[in-house]
Amino acid sequence: MKRLVLVCVIIFLCTVACNSAMRDGATTLKAGMPNTLALPNGEVVYDLSGEWDIVTHVSNFATFNGVIDVRQNGNQFVGSLQGGDFPVLETSEKIKGKVKGNEIEVIQFNTTHGWVLSSGGLAEGGKLLSINTQSPSEGWDINSTLKKK
C-alpha cells in the first residue's frame, strides 16, 4: 500500500512538472522582467512593441514574407505591414488584438476578405507569435509566425 501511494505521488509530481515545463507561461510575469510592460492597474503583460519578421503560409498554395511594426497601448496592440510581398489591402494594418499577461487574449488577422478573428500564442519569452486564421466557408487557412527582431 505504501508503495502504491509513493508511486501515485511521484506520478502526480511528474505530471505537474511536465505541464509547467511545456507551457511558455509557466511563470507569472512580474514588473521589471525582460520584454514586459507594467499596466496602470498593476497587471504585467508582454511588450509586443517593435519590429517583427513575419512568414505567412496560406493553405498549401502561397507563402508571404514581410516586416510588421507593432505598436502597443496598454494591453492592446496593432501591427502594420512595413514591407514584404503580401497582397495590397486598403490599410497597412495586418494584426490587432489584446495581450493578457503572457498570452494572447484576442487577435485578428487582416486578409483580402477583411478582418478575421484568429487564435494566437506567444512563446520564447514573448518574442515569437503564432497566429492561426481559418475560414471554413472560403476553404483556406492562414498560419503566420512572427519573430521579434
Residues 6+ apart with CB under 8 A from 130: 120, 121, 123, 143, 144, 145, 146
Report the CATH number that the domain containing residue 100 is assigned in CATH. 2.40.128.120
Each residue's pLDDT tens digit, 67-100: 999 999 999 999 999 999 998 888 999 999 999 9
- Using an 8 Å Cβ cutoff, are 86 and 56 in contact? yes
Beta bridge partners of 56: 64, 144
In a domain, 119, yes or no: yes
pLDDT average, residue stretch 19-32: 62
- Given pLDDT bands bounded at 50, 70 and 90, which one contains residue 139? confident
pLDDT score, position 143: 97
- How many domains is the chain built from? 1
> What range defines the domain where residue 106 resides?
43-148
